[in-house]
């Protein structure tokens, strides 16, 4: 049997700093929770443990603070954006029915050590998931450590068995405590021996095996006089540091491996939490369904409207008047702008086509003029197509694709049918007559365009209030929509560049980059590939 235990604070901290900030539309930060869950699900899928649990630190002082007043004294509190996510993560874990352990006066490392010890007694394999090298001391014949590194949103894990640890470090896993006793740990304010760094400490433990054996052989000629003097002067500090660095596997928690056997998720609760957190991908990944009550209250079919072709001047004028008088008219088009659907929000969706509508191009100019307040989907492309026909469009008030992006910038896509399924009535997924149109003329393309216009109108009225609530309406109207017109014109006519100025600017940038590279290499003490995340990570997180 196999149990996996996660170091909650360590992994959520890695996720927070390893993934760019994500927030819900109401401003709730979610990147740490999202990253944690992705790491959890990835490793559970790979390891397939029989049991699963998470250990957390608490804010209260621990017994180590009693041993050394300066323990972790220089640490600043976690950022507010991270602190706000800890209760959310715990609520999600409860919904996933994953046991979590925390104990006042003890650190998560001690709880993990206690859990690993319990697994060993019961004959279980224990897999410790952590981003903290302190836990490497727990490695044994029954305990393996998965060391997690998260950079630029990408998670990597290194699996340490006793053999793998020995091959990398040159001593047994328990020697991690002795190593820290000598070199100290700035992050925890463990003092170590003054003047003894990691390289010297590693060599000493590799040679003598332990702190105790080192001091028993303090007069060995293999120890340089300068190092010996530091060790003698710092013996008391080394022994204190040993106590601080050693994980205690006797935390007062009631734990048996069988207590953490994996259970089915509380799907209804988890679905509601993920919806609130806007974790659409995780809902899809876990195959979560809406609670039955919510499904029953959802409308079975969207409202049905008539579809009318604009085939004469009278119908064209009626359509224009309704569109001009409307608060907003939704517009959809085909790929070549040869067919158009206009829905002013009443009982009828109007279809204009080059084949059937008199003075089609002139009517295009009227529909896309300032007199008709419009909403569309991906309006930049529509504006570009109109420019190709000599029409400069105006009167745009809303773009459903941009609005959805502003509200949820991490979603996997913003196609109209996806947005309609996510926020609207789902009419595009249902399709045809089931999609809500009564076609006066049977044409599949017309029906589809009409459904798209209705979907755009629905989404405009649903996403608009959400933008208002998030304080982003001005961003859409004053920056994003005007920018669409600029970009459409740039795509249509291109723009002039000063070749000489660009070449001079490029040369200046190259000089600055070269100077910065030299400065970086000097600080790092070696040259490496700055474009390699692996090499850069080694320098930042290990060498420095």
Structure tokens at 58: 């608490």
**Domain for residue 460, yes or no?**
yes
Please determine, for residue 252, whether its predicted confidence score (pLDDT) is greater than 50. Answer: yes
d(CA 183, CA 487): 57
Give per-residue pLDDT as tens, 210-250. Answer: 999 999 999 999 998 999 999 999 999 999 999 999 999 99
Q: Quick one: pLDDT band at residue 155, thresholds 50, 70, 90?
A: confident
Give tens-digit pLDDT for 332-389: 999 989 999 999 998 899 999 999 999 999 999 999 999 999 999 999 999 999 999 9
365 part of a folded domain = yes
Report residue 441: phi and psi, to 5°. -135, 130
220 and 112 belong to one structural domain: yes
pLDDT at 298: 47
Residue 409 φ then ψ, to 5°:
-70, -5
Closest Cα to residue 6, out of 193, 155, 170? Answer: 155
pTM for the structure as a whole = 0.59
Identify which of 358, 336, 311, 346 has the alpha carbon closest to the alpha carbon of residue 453.
346
Residue 366: exposure state from Cβ atoms within 10 A (0-12, 13-18, ≥19):
middle
Q: What is the pLDDT of residues 107-133, one digit of tens each?
A: 999 999 999 999 999 999 999 999 989
Residues 104 and 53 in one domain: yes
Helices (H), 246-369: 267-277, 280-286, 292-297, 313-325, 360-367
pLDDT given for residue 152 in this prediction: 58
Looking at residue 153, what is its pLDDT? 55
413/515 same-domain check: no
Enumerate residues 6+ apart whose C-beta is below 8 A from 149. 14, 131, 155, 156, 157, 158, 537, 541
- What is the per-residue pLDDT for 430? 58
Domain count, the chain: 3
Residue with tokens 């309704």: 322
The answer, yes or no, to whether residue 434 has pLDDT greater than 60, is no
> pLDDT over 70 for what percent of the chain?
93
**487 and 503 belong to one structural domain:** no
Coil, strand or helix at 189 = coil
Domain that holds residue 512: 499-543
116 with 10, same domain? yes
Residues 113 and 241 in one domain: yes
Question: How high does pLDDT run on average in the chain?
Answer: 89
Would you state the pLDDT for residue 396? 97
Q: Are residues 390 and 420 in the same domain?
A: yes
Same domain assignment for residues 217 and 131: yes
pLDDT on residue 77: 77
Q: Which residues contact 474 (CB under 8 A, 6 or more apart)?
A: none
Terminus-to-terminus CA distance in the chain, angstroms?
Answer: 39
Q: How confident is the model at residue 514 (pLDDT cuts 50, 70, 90)?
A: very high
CATH of the domain at 429: 3.30.420.10
State the Cα angle at 231 between 135 and 191, rounded to 5°. Answer: 45
How far apart CA 88 and CA 279 sit, in angstroms, is 13
């Amino acid at each position: 049997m196999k149990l996996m235990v996660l170091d909650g604070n360590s992994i959520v901290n890695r996720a927070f700093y390893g993934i760019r900030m994500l927030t819900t539309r109401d401003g709730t930060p979610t990147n740490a929770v999202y990253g944690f869950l992705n790491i959890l699900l990835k490793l559970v899928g790979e390891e397939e443990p029989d049991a699963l649990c998470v250990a957390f630190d608490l804010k209260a002082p621990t017994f180590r603070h009693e041993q050394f007043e300066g323990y972790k004294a220089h640490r600043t509190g976690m950022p507010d954006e991270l602190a706000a996510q800890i209760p959310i993560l715990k609520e999600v874990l409860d919904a996933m029915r994953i046991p979590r352990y925390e104990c006042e006066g003890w650190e998560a490392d001690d709880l993990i050590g206690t859990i690993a010890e319990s697994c060993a007694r019961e004959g279980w394999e224990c897999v410790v998931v952590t981003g903290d090298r302190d836990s490497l001391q727990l490695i044994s014949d029954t305990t393996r450590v998965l060391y997690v590194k998260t950079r630029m949103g990408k998670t990597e894990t290194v699996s340490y068995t006793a053999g793998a640890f020995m091959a990398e470090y040159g001593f047994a896993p328990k020697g991690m405590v002795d190593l820290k006793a000598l070199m100290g740990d700035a992050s925890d304010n463990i003092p170590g021996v003054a003047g003894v760094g990691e390289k010297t400490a590693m060599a000493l433990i590799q040679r003598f095996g332990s702190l105790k054996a080192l001091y028993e052989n303090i007069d060995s000629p293999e120890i340089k006089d300068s190092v010996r003097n530091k060790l003698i002067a710092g013996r008391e500090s080394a022994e204190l540091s040993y106590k601080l660095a050693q994980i205690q596997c006797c935390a007062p928690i009631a734990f048996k491996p069988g207590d953490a056997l994996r259970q089915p998720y509380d799907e209804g609760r988890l679905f509601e939490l993920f919806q609130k957190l806007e974790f659409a991908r995780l809902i899809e990944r876990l195959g979560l369904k809406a609670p039955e009550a919510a499904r029953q209250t959802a409308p079975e079919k969207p409202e049905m409207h008539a579809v009318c072709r604009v085939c004469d001047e009278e119908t064209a004028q009626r359509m224009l008047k309704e569109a001009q008088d409307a608060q907003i008219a939704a517009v959809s088009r085909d790929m070549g702008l040869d067919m158009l659907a206009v829905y002013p929000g009443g009982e009828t969706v109007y279809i204009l086509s080059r084949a059937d509508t008199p003075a089609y191009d002139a009517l295009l100019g009227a529909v896309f003029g300032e007199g008709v307040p419009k909403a569309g989907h991906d309006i930049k492309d529509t504006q570009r197509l109109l420019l190709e026909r000599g029409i400069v469009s105006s009167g745009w008030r809303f773009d459903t694709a941009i609005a959805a992006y502003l509200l949820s910038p991490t979603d996997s896509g913003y196609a109209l049918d996806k947005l309609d399924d996510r926020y609207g009535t789902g009419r595009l997924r249902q399709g045809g007559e089931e999609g809500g149109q009564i076609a006066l003329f049977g044409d599949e393309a017309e029906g589809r365009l009409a459904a798209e216009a209705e979907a755009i109108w629905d989404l405009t009225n649903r996403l608009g209030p959400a933008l208002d609530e998030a304080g982003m309406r001005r961003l859409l109207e004053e920056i994003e929509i005007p920018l669409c017109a600029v970009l459409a014109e740039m795509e249509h006519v291109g723009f002039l560049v000063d070749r000489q100025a660009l070449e001079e600017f490029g040369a200046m940038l190259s000089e600055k980059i070269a100077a910065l590279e030299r400065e970086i290499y000097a600080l790092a003490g070696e040259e490496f590939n700055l474009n390699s995340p692996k090499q850069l990570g080694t320098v930042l997180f290990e060498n420095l």
